């Protein structure tokens, strides 16, 4: 194996000379909670106020006379009169526990792609829906009720709906010990999918050809826990006791008898992301009140490390990789603000910046790196039929919500074409 790391120095060096991938884009505005949001361009005195969209847009072409009114999320917001046929924001696939897998287009139309009532009982769904945006293919795992044993299955679908449901990991069929087979990713060519079977003793990584039965084991529990793959799946990194291991990777797993390159790093490491030439990870040191959390990058060319972000509050949920931007998006959440208290922060090797505020959760970044998909409640007074947040598409270059789907029950969601 050709070593991927030239040296393993633990000396932190400044990476300010590395250009920020998104530096050429306009600086985003605060897309939620700003007192003057939309004053000059959108005409609204306040975000969610009664005059939102009235002076410049006439009150009907951008969200109606009142933010959250009858046309919010319908034909006039995100449909024909906002962006029109040339609008490039992708559609959305949502895993809705009350319905099934649902497609939401730009006009707010909802199409059920797979429903629990189609001859199968959807007992549980423990992991996010995974979508290959370009092809429209998707898959999800679930635990089906079949007598005393609750076997896992893998469900495959595409733009037409559900394609197949095949048997999952047979080791996850017994009641004890607990085992969950979780979707991980599509392979770069979209022809196969990867899943992780998580147990208390560790995890295993497996591959399925899209739409076909047959589970191929790729890696055992020592490597599959906290594993991150590069965009082209040519290399990978995984956390281990005492640091990281960097390995070469092939379509069928790590190269045989190759131990990889070990990098010593103290503390607890998790939430790994492979950037183009670096590994991003969350590092925690200490205990209880003395515990500190940082986001750090390891440069694969030099082996140097640097802290790129220190959270203001609590870093939660898995990061969202954005390969087109050379970055990842993370959540910094203030629990005192309830379910409206998360900032979505973009992190690169050059640093970090907040891209959205007041978010319940961010779900996905589009393949072209232009849009963020997130759940969020409107700030202003709003008559709502449910307690569910809105699902919004944020244009990252401007910070604008360009599509809003009102009151969507979301277990997970991703962009699709």
The per-residue pLDDT of the chain, averaged, comes to 77
Query: Strand 361-365 vs strand 314-322: parallel, antiparallel, or unpaired?
Result: unpaired
pLDDT digits (tens, 9 = 90+) for 312-366: 998 887 899 999 999 999 999 998 877 778 999 999 999 999 999 999 999 999 9
Beta bridge partners of 392: 374, 404
pLDDT of residue 311: 92
User: Is there a contact between 268 and 255 (Cβ–Cβ < 8 Å)?
Assistant: no
Give the Cα separation of 253 and 255 in Å (integer). Answer: 6
Decide which of 198 and 116 is more confident.
Answer: 198
CA distance 263 to 4: 11
Element (H, E) at 166: strand 161-167
By percentage, how much of the chain surpasses pLDDT 90?
48
pTM of the model: 0.77
Domain boundaries, the chain: 116-225
pLDDT for res 144 = 66
pLDDT in the model for residue 150: 63
What would the pLDDT profile of 221-265 be if each residue is shown by its tens digit? 878 778 899 999 999 999 988 999 999 988 778 887 778 899 999
- pLDDT of residue 109 exceeding 80, the answer is yes
Burial class (CB in 10 A: 0-12, 13-18, 19+), 340: middle
pLDDT band at 9 (very low <50, low <70, confident <90, very high): very low
Contact yes or no for 384/70 (Cβ under 8 A): no
Distance CA 400, CA 87 (A): 14
Please give the angle made by the CA atoms of 180, 183 and 186, to the nearest 5 degrees: 160
Q: Between residues 329 and 83, which one has the greater pLDDT?
A: 329
Residue 176 is predicted with a pLDDT of: 66
Q: Are 221 and 239 in contact (CB under 8 A)?
A: no
pLDDT digits (tens, 9 = 90+) for 162-200: 999 899 998 887 666 788 899 999 999 999 999 999 887
pLDDT at 357: 92
Residue 69 pLDDT: 33
In this predicted structure, which of 15-19, 40-44, 222-226, 259-263 has the lowest mean pLDDT? 15-19
Lowest mean pLDDT among 30-39, 352-361, 386-395: 30-39
Look-up of token digits 């250009």:
19
pLDDT reported for residue 217: 92
Identify the three-state secondary structure at position 338. helix
| pLDDT band per the 50, 70, 90 thresholds, residue 46 | very low
**Would you call 386 helix, strand, or coil by DSSP?**
coil
- Which of 107, 91, 94, 101 lies closest to 366, judged by CA? 91
Token duo for residue 212: 């076909």
- The pLDDT value recorded for residue 187 is 94
SS (H, E, C) 183-196: EEEECCCCCEEEEE
For residue 92, what pLDDT is reported? Answer: 97
Closest CA to 269 of 290, 245, 243: 243
Per-residue pLDDT, 192: 96
């Amino acid at each position: 194996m050709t070593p991927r790391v030239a040296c393993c120095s633990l000396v932190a060096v400044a990476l300010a000379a590395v250009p920020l991938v998104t530096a050429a884009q306009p600086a985003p505005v605060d897309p939620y909670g700003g007192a003057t949001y939309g004053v000059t361009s959108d005409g609204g005195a306040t975000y969610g106020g009664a005059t939102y969209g009235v002076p410049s847009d006439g009150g009907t072409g951008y969200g109606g006379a009142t933010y959250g009114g009858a046309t919010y999320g319908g034909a006039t917001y995100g449909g024909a009169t906002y962006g029109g046929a040339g609008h490039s924001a992708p559609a959305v696939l949502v895993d809705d526990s009350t319905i099934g897998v649902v497609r939401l287009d730009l006009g707010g139309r909802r199409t059920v792609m797979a429903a629990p009532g189609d001859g199968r009982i959807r007992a549980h769904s423990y992991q996010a829906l995974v979508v290959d945006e370009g092809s429209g293919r998707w898959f999800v795992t679930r635990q089906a009720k079949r007598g005393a044993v609750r076997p896992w299955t893998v469900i495959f679908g595409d733009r037409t709906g559900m394609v197949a449901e095949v048997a999952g990991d047979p080791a996850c069929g017994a009641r004890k010990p607990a085992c969950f087979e979780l979707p991980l990713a599509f392979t770069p060519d979209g022809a196969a999918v990867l899943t992780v079977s998580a147990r208390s003793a560790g995890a295993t990584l497996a591959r399925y050809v899209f739409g076909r039965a047959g589970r191929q084991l790729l890696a055992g529990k020592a490597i599959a826990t906290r594993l991150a793959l590069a965009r082209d799946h040519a290399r990978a990194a995984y956390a281990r006791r005492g640091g990281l291991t960097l390995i070469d990777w092939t379509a069928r797993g790590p190269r045989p008898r190759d131990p990889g390159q070990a990098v010593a790093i103290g503390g607890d490491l998790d939430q790994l992301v492979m950037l183009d030439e670096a590994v991003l990870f969350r590092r925690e040191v200490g205990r209880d009140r003395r515990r500190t959390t940082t986001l750090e990058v390891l440069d694969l060319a030099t082996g140097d490390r640097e802290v790129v972000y220190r959270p203001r509050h609590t870093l939660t949920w898995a990061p969202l990789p954005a390969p087109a931007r050379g970055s990842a998006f993370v959540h910094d959440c203030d629990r005192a603000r309830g379910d409206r208290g998360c900032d979505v922060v973009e992190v690169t090797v050059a640093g970090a910046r907040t891209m959205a505020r007041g978010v319940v959760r961010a779900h996905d970044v589009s393949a072209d790196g232009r849009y963020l998909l997130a759940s969020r409640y409107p700030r202003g007074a709003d008559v709502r039929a449910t307690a569910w947040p809105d699902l919004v598409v944020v244009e990252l270059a401007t910070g604008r919500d360009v599509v809003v789907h009102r009151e969507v029950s979301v277990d997970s969601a991703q962009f699709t074409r």
